[in-house]
Chains A and B, each alone.
Chain A
Amino acid sequence: MKVLVVMARHQTIDVSWFDGMKVRLDGQSLPYDGDPESVGRVVHERVSSDESRAVDAIVTRARYGGIRFRDLAVWNEATDRALEQIAPEAPLPVGITRAQAASLQAAFPDLPVWLAFETSFFADLPEREALYGLDPVFMTEHRIRRTGFHGWYHRAAVHAARSTARRERSRTWSRILSICLEPRPELAAIRDGRPVMVTGGMTPFEGLPGESSCGDLDPSILLKVVDSGRLGPEQLNQVAGEEGGLQALAGGPVTLEAVIRCDHAGLELAHTVWMERLIRAVGAGIAALGGLDGVVFSGRYAGAGRWLEIGLRERLGQALEPSVMWGVSYFSERLDAVLAEPAILKLMACGPVPERT
């Protein structure tokens, strides 16, 4: 069973082949113009016809599937219609997913294209966590619900926690905090493999500040700015999403890793603000879990977790009872392997080519 994993970013497309469980045959980063409609063509140009014939399915990462998509979904007209239906929940990523999937299918008409949604991990998030303090009828009607956005990393964190617990022959880690260190970082509290709390919200703006996104805000702030007539909602969206976060505190674009390491004075404010937000999120997560067995760092800056671990041990050592023992694990691998695994399992269960209509 071979799958081709396609992860389109805004300037490159990461393409990897997997043969069986987690065995990467090749991995390439292909430059492209960022147009989601180009993804299929660019991938096709790279993948020779022989290679594509040897593949049983294509898996591509999709940002948003709401609660409608709880599992991998094969791309077809019905899927496209369902995505069109949920597009108002997240207009930008859903549109991009539809365009990418259509272009991949057009480029590889004989292969099934599977969509792997980041949000599917959170489809069963408990209502107490998923709902906001608003009228639930209004929330249902307008599909307002917390979803979380780094589902694949958190899923990988669960596996990493299991492996670490096995390797260290410690008791099972049933209560873990998964800290995804990506440009828009996210913390999830996971109990027995299921999320019970996540800092990401209905959109990636909520939660921990990102490299350019604001994180949690008093709602009055946005209302006051709009009311003053200084900025319209679209401009405010850009300010909160592209001009806020760590770069706003550091005075210029900066990576989360640099902020965590904080090896020059210009990053001091960004570092302290972000660390304090993280501490609060960690505390909230522990309260949500009713305890703590392990912390898993993942994402492209997973390595920076080593600095965080020192701080966390110090702070939690004060706040938690001495009897609370918790371990640390890291998931530093690429995400493509995480996406490939369920696809291969599905292929093994369903046969090589699932129905496409």
Chain B
Amino acid sequence: MVQYTGQELAVDVKRLGIKKAGVDMYDLLKRKMTGVESELVDFASELIRMPSPSLEEQAVARRVAERMTELGFDRVETDAIGNVVGILLGRSSESTVMVNAHMDTAAVEAESAWTRQPLSGVVENGTLHGVGASDCKGGLAAAIYAGALLKRSLLPLRGNVVVAATVAEEKGGSAGIRYLMEHTLPSLELKPTHAILAEPTGLDLFRGHTGWAQFDVVVQGISPFEVDDAVQAISRDLELDPEATPGIEESRIDRPRFDNVGGYRRGVIGVSRRLAVMDAGAMCGRIERTATRAAHGAGNVNVAVQIPKTEQRFYTRQTRMTETRVEAWEVDAYHPAIERARQVLAAAGREPRVGKWTLPRLGMATAGGVLVRDFNIPALGYGPGIEALCHAADESVPVQNLLDAAYGLAALCHGYVGIPVCGWTSDEI
């Protein structure tokens, strides 16, 4: 008689290549992926080839809506400012998970630095290249196909899944997501209970980032010399400000702009600041105090600080006034939404780390600030690509990352609003 220990038996069987008896829910999702891998990559490539700078997302929006319809989303809507929403309806509206990705891309500033055309959308060596590959067209394509995976799996949903492709993220102070939350989703009787941002996280779970805001320090007086002196003094002190002020992670002072208004000399200093904790309103007051103190000895000048408002004209010709600011946000590391996400991804065979975006360049942001701070919705990031490649030459995303993201996003959505597959791990009984 052959004597086996448990350990030896396990090894022996593994060598024989015996697999588990059936499919579980996650195997089913993976198998659904098998049929659509190339379709997903082609779609992401197609999106990259369509230029979509902020406020000019129309072509991408049209294509996204078409593809959502083709893939069987229960409802597909385009709102007044051009956001596209694809919905999988659950059995009740008590819970809704929203997967958000923006359709616009950062402006290509130095095309010469790119080794491939920014709009090439080519796949080479398993990597998809082009502007928006990581930020955020790869994530957008993955989110749409995550919805398709859930739809095709026929796994019943307790709540709704909303895939929201938004406009004006890169240059609109999150105007697209704000309009979506204030107008579009309420009109569709949808209230997200969880949000997932399909922004680049390298398939880790991100739970927040610092904020940033742009401020204009306006110095006005009769004497041009006094105004110039004041601007110089203010600029100097503001340069030193971050060292003395906790919470300022990064600061940039633009070269001042001068003009004459109604017989007055006016100098404007552009200040951009990344904020760890303090919100933009509080920072505005802080800059005003520093500027006023600095200008005190420079003569008779008025100093005011404001967050400039600009009018955004969306591709749908709607207009809205927006501020160039993004609030810092974070979801607690032990928040149940994070815990659920970790559990679900672990069950799906993934082991994400929990972290935060570092936002390597000023001006980068996500919709999380709006969702978490203004609408009190727990949000987390989970998407393909890495943020270091965003807003930079040779932006790219590994194809495998795209595919994994679609699978992971489908699993996450099911974890939040799916009817749990309890007691069944296999179709073999």
Contacts and interface: CB of A to CB of B under 8 A. Distances in A.
Contact between chain A and chain B defined by CB under 8 Å: yes
A253 B20 CA distance: 8
Contacts of A238: 24, 347, 425
The number of chain A residues touching the other chain, given as a range, is 35 or more
B420 A252 contact: no
A95 B152 CA distance: 9
Nearest to B422: A237
Contacts, number: 167
B155 interface: yes
Contacts of B156: 84, 87-88, 91, 94-95
Contacts of B8: 266
Contact of B25 (A9, A92, A263): A92
Given A238-B347, A242-B426, A253-B13, A91 B155 contact: yes
Contact of B22 (A10, A202, A251): A10
Interface in A237-255: 237-238, 240-242, 250-254
A223 interface: no
Given A10-B22, A35-B32, A252 B9 contact: yes
A115 B346 CA distance: 35
Contact of B343 (A213, A233, A263): A233
B141 to A, nearest CB: 21
Interface in A136-182: 149-150, 182
Contacts of B311: none
B188 interface: no
Nearest to A185: B429
B407 to A, nearest CB: 14
Contacts of B423: 90, 201-206, 237, 241
The number of chain B residues touching the other chain, given as a range, is 35 or more
Given A251-B6, A253-B13, A91 B429 contact: no
A182 B4 contact: no
Interface in A200-226: 201-206, 211-213
Contacts of B321: none
B2 A264 contact: yes
Contacts of B18: 253
A242 B154 contact: no
Given A87-B154, A241-B426, A266-B8, A235 B347 contact: yes
Contact of B421 (A183, A184, A202, A237): A237
Contacts of A150: 429
Interface in A255-301: 263-267
A63 B9 contact: no
A201 B423 CA distance: 9
Contacts of B344: 232, 234
A234 B347 contact: yes
A205 B429 CA distance: 10
Nearest to A229: B339
Contacts of B14: 252
Nearest to B154: A95
Contact of A212 (B21, B152, B153, B155): B21
B347 A232 contact: yes
A229 B152 CA distance: 32
B115 interface: no
B256 to A, nearest CB: 55
B23 A10 contact: yes
B429 A184 contact: yes
A266 B361 CA distance: 59
A2 interface: no
Interface string A65-90: 00000000000000000001001101
A182 to B, nearest CB: 7
B384 to A, nearest CB: 22
A231 interface: yes
A183 B9 contact: no
B427 A93 contact: yes
A96 interface: yes
B428 interface: yes
Interface string B1-31: 1111111111111100010111111011001
Interface string B384-417: 0000000000000000000000000000000100
B35 interface: yes
Chain B CB within 10 A, most for which of A206, A211, A235, A241: A241
A184 B387 CA distance: 47
A308 interface: no
A266 B427 contact: no
Closest 6 CB pairs of A and B: A251-B6, A203-B423, A232-B343, A241-B425, A252-B10, A95-B154
Interface of A: 9-10, 33-35, 37, 63, 84, 87-88, 90-96, 98-99, 118, 149-150, 182-184, 201-206, 211-213, 229, 231-235, 237-238, 240-242, 250-254, 263-267
Given A150-B429, A253-B20, 6 more contacts: A91-B424, A95-B154, A118-B429, A252-B13, A263-B1, A264-B1
11 contacts: A90-B424, A91-B25, A99-B152, A184-B428, A202-B423, A204-B429, A235-B346, A241-B425, A250-B9, A252-B14, A265-B4
